[in-house]
Structure formats: structure tokens, C-alpha cells
Amino acid sequence: MFTSNVHTQDIVELSVSAWFYRNKTIAGFDNPARSLYVAVRELVENSLDACEEIRILPEITVLLRNEEESSRVDLLNQGPENFELVVKDNGIGMKRDSIPLLLGKMLTGTKFSHRQSRGTFGLGGSLALLYGQVTTQKPIEIVTGQKGQPHGYSVKMRLDIENNRPVILEEDRVSKGADEHGTMITFSLQGDWLRSKRRIIDYFNQTGIIVPYASLFFETPDNEVYKYDRIIHSIPRPSVATKPHPRGIDVEMLKSMISTTRARSLKSFLTTSFQRVGDKKASEFLVFARLDPERVPDSLSMDELVRMMNSMEKFERFLPPSPNSLSPVGTEVLLAGIKRLSPEFVVFRQRPPNVYEGHPFIVETGVAYGGDLSAGAHIIRFANRIPLLYDERSDISHRVVRDLNLKNYGLRQEDPLTFIMHICSTKIPYKTVGKEYIADVDSVRREIELGFKECLRDLSERLRKRTKTQKYQKRESRLASYYRFIAEILKTATGREVQLERFHFEGGDNQ
């Protein structure tokens, strides 16, 4: 007879927040420098989402202050310090009952629907606050208000990590105007500013490119101010929540959908639960899966559920997912944003929608050349409007750029080139919870490669035209000098003025 050596008291059940506290490195909180950067990024993203949700031009203010009173004498040996981080926005604001749930309880949020959003796991903001608490043991302060409400709320709270719940310490109503709205979050955290400074500033620089319709203000611990004024007043259309596509779901999701459906037959379940599945497609699929269209959904056995899921993957007549759940940035916004880099030429292309594991995605690519760009090929990466700054060499876009033959386009590796890639999807194929690089997925790689090649062909044509124009202008300048020389000789020889307009030259192949 088998006897277990594990005692009951050795079994421990962790809450979601306790697990992430013990494993926070997988979300990017692996050292004080990166943790400071991730905390800033996560809260700024939440603020941008809160503004775009109600289609208000974002006004984001970020203040990062050093809490240490002693002056920095030895900057080279400066280690982790305590900072106060304040992030303020003019977004939708929060209801009083939503404040502790949205900010103090992990895996609780508004980003779990089948739509494009910056956040993916419902963790970022809460994990940043958790990191701040465990490194400084100071409470979190939130001030928020909604438009049309006579007052807002001020809440001070802590996180109960072991039970994944917020603990309210203080709360009060605050006065505000009827048209005022937004949220301000203040908390303390440990960080290493000297090591993270470049990354954080790069984050704001690239955020200014991808959201040029936002006004950003960042004050550093060094009392430096970075301002990114709004340069465009149009916001990309918002994404909309859609039903899931038959491809890309697993048995557990199928079971969950069946447990909540009101449909009384498999046919009606398919047409009401999935996108782009009408009566005809539902009937064709059920014949393919050998299932009775009139069968009650919750009567399916486990084997039948597995067969239904496998059939969904193999059935080739489903229409592709609808791209209505996506909100690409658009070439107009991207062109406005990239002007912050002052290039000479810029080309952008938006690829048609494609599918990855049943999720639609759109790739937008661009190539900037010359101007104030530094020499060599550089890559700027975005995913659902989030700048990706770490692990560039692991990203699929880096591999695509590395394999491009620039000579085919009359370009060299040392030319001032910047490649821009943005992918938007209801499910970005990140390789880590930290959301820093895109996995090597065949369909995604193909779209990025085709997009860059389209941009390079257009850029190559523009450069050829510029070279041709410069050639004509140079020839015209030489001829003009020659004509002036001849005119001077004739004047000397004849004593008469010679009109140079008679020798006007216009560039052309036959001149």
C-alpha cells in the first residue's frame, strides 16, 4: 500500500498576488532599474487607455521624485533609492467601488474582453503598486473623479498580498468641478534612476511617436523636464469587443461558453457565440464534425467536446476573423509622430488584416531615412501602441531587418535608417509576461517582412528621384557658371551687356 510522505501542513495555497509577489521577475520586476521603468510604463499605459476609452485627447503628467534627503555625493556607486511616483491623467476616472478592485486586486480589470487593448493580463498597474509596497512599505494614494459627478474620491490603501485584496486605510470625498475628470495615483517604490534613466526617457520619446495626439509631461529626479506637446488632434478609432472566432479556442473555453449560453441547440450556439458564423456555415460545420444541429449544447460529452474543438481547427470554410476589434494607429498619426525624429524621408504601409491562432492582427511598418537620424539601421517597435524597449535582438522584427538585403534597394547598412513596426491584435504573441518582444510566428513574420519590403521599394524610388533631381541641379549650376563666364568674355570683347536669360537651362535627359 502506497503511503504519502507529504504532511497536510506542508500543503500551501497561494493567492494570485502572493504568487506574483514570489515570481515578479517574469513581469519585468527583476531589478531596481528595470522595475522603475516598468512601473512608469504600466501606469502611463493605464492613463492613456483611460483617456482613449472616452476619446479624450490625453493629458498625462508624470512626476518621479527622489525621497532620499541626503545629496548624491558618489553618483558612480549610487545604488537603489526610494522614489515617489505620481501619475495624473484626464481620463474617465473611477467609481468609488471600483477603485480598490481595479488597483488593489490582481487579475481584476476591464481588459479581458475579446478586443485590442494595451493591457493583456490585468496585472501591470497592480503589480507596480505591489512592488512599491513590498520595497517601501508605504501606502498607495488615489484621487479620482468622473465627469458629471459633483465630487470625487480620495483613497489611501494597502495591498493584502496573501489574500489578494485591498485594505482601505483612509477615504474621503473631494470637491471638483462638474466637467473635471481623471485619476492621480501616488505611491513609493524602490528604483535605480541612474541605470534606468535612458530607458525611461526612451519610453517617453517613443510614446510621443506612437501617440502624437497626447500631451506628455515628465519631471525627472534630476529636476529635468521633458515635454511632448500634442502635434495632431485626431485619435485612432477605438477598438470594439467582438465574439471569439471558432479557431483558436480550446476545450476549456468551449466548456465555459456552453455553460453560460442560452442557446438550446448546437446550431444556434454557433451562430450566437462566435463571430462570422451564420446558419449556413454552422450547418456545414456540424456536418463536418458529425454532430446533430439540434443537440442541446450542455449534453455533449467530454469526448464530443474534444472532437468539436479539433473539428473547429480543421474546418477550412470559416470566414477569417473580423478586424473590427482592432484599432491600428494609421499612417496619418504615424507620420505625425515620426516627424519628432526629423527624418528626410518617411514611408509607412499598413498591411491587410491577417490571423494568428484565431486572433486577427494588423501590422503597420515604416522606414525613415536621413535628416537628423543617426547612421546605421535602427528599429523602433510597438505592440498595441506600447513601445518595446528591451530584448530587441529576440524580437521577430529584428530578425526580419537583419535578413533584408538593403543593396537591392540601393541602400547600405551604414545609411541613416530607422525601421518602425507596430502590431495590433486581440492577442499579441508576446514571449513573456513582461511584454517586451514578439515571438517568431510565421504569419506575423511574413506580414512584417512584406511591409518593410513595400516601404523600402517606395523609399528606393524616392531616393532615385532625389538623386536624379540633384544631378540635374548640379548640371544646371555648372552650365550657369559656364554661361556667366562666357558672358563676361563677350562683355569684355564687345563692351556690351549679355542677357543671361537667353542661356536659361532646364534639367532634362536630353540637355
> 8-22, 116-130, 478-492: lowest mean pLDDT where?
8-22
| Residue 507 scores a pLDDT above 80 | no
pLDDT recorded at residue 500: 59
CA dihedral in degrees (228, 231, 234, 239; nearest 10)? -40
Residues facing residue 157 across a β-bridge: 140, 168
Residues facing residue 364 across a β-bridge: 350, 422
| Residue 505 scores a pLDDT above 60 | no
Per the model's pLDDT, the better-predicted residue between 497 and 449 turns out to be 449
Q: Are 459 and 345 in contact (CB under 8 A)?
A: yes
| Residue 207 scores a pLDDT above 50 | yes
In this prediction, residues 158-184 reach a mean pLDDT of: 91
Instruction: For residue range 267-298, list pLDDT tens digits in order.
Output: 999 999 998 999 999 999 999 999 999 999 99
C-alpha distances out from residue 27 to 62, 365, 406, 435, 501, Å: 22, 27, 36, 8, 71
Q: Is 21 helix (H, G, I), strand (E, B) or coil?
A: helix
| Residue 206 scores a pLDDT above 90 | yes
| Residue 255 scores a pLDDT above 90 | yes
Q: How confident is the model at residue 120 (pLDDT cuts 50, 70, 90)?
A: low
Per the model's pLDDT, the better-predicted residue between 358 and 330 turns out to be 330
pLDDT recorded at residue 435: 76
| Residue 225 scores a pLDDT above 70 | yes
| Residue 122 scores a pLDDT above 60 | no
> 129-138, 301-310, 330-339, 495-504: lowest mean pLDDT where?
495-504
In this prediction, residues 32-43 reach a mean pLDDT of: 93
- The CATH architecture to which 16-67+79-228 belongs is 2-Layer Sandwich (3.30)
Is residue 144 exposed (0-12), middle (13-18) or buried (19+ Cβ within 10 Å)? buried
pLDDT recorded at residue 108: 61
Q: Residue 493 corresponds to which amino acid? A: A
Is residue 465 exposed (0-12), middle (13-18) or buried (19+ Cβ within 10 Å)? exposed
Instruction: For residue range 360-419, list pLDDT tens digits in order.
Output: 899 999 999 999 999 999 999 999 999 999 889 999 999 999 999 999 999 999 999 999
pLDDT recorded at residue 375: 94
pLDDT recorded at residue 501: 58
Please state the pTM of the whole predicted model.
Answer: 0.83
471: Cβ contacts below 8 Å, ≥ 6 apart? 507
Q: Are 258 and 297 in contact (CB under 8 A)?
A: yes
Query: In the CATH hierarchy, which fold is given to the domain comprising 251-314?
Result: Helicase, Ruva Protein; domain 3 (1.10.8)
In this prediction, residues 237-242 reach a mean pLDDT of: 80
Determine whether domain 325-461 maps to CATH 3.30.230.10. Answer: yes
pLDDT recorded at residue 113: 53
Per the model's pLDDT, the better-predicted residue between 431 and 381 turns out to be 381
In this prediction, residues 460-470 reach a mean pLDDT of: 85
pLDDT recorded at residue 511: 39
Per the prediction, the chain carries an average pLDDT of 87
The rounded distance, in Å, linking the Cα atoms of 155 and 170 is 6
Helices and strands of the chain, counted as H and E runs: 12, 14
In this prediction, residues 154-165 reach a mean pLDDT of: 89
Q: Which helix (H) or strand (E) holds 40?
A: helix 32-52
| Residue 254 scores a pLDDT above 80 | yes
pLDDT recorded at residue 318: 92
In this prediction, residues 136-161 reach a mean pLDDT of: 93
Q: How confident is the model at residue 508 (pLDDT cuts 50, 70, 90)?
A: very low
pLDDT recorded at residue 510: 42
Q: How confident is the model at residue 226 (pLDDT cuts 50, 70, 90)?
A: very high
CA dihedral in degrees (273, 278, 280, 284; nearest 10)? -40
pLDDT recorded at residue 109: 55
Q: What number of other Cβ atoms are within 10 A of residue 460's Cβ?
A: 18
Percent above pLDDT 70 for the chain: 87
Q: How confident is the model at residue 70 (pLDDT cuts 50, 70, 90)?
A: very low
Q: How confident is the model at residue 68 (pLDDT cuts 50, 70, 90)?
A: confident
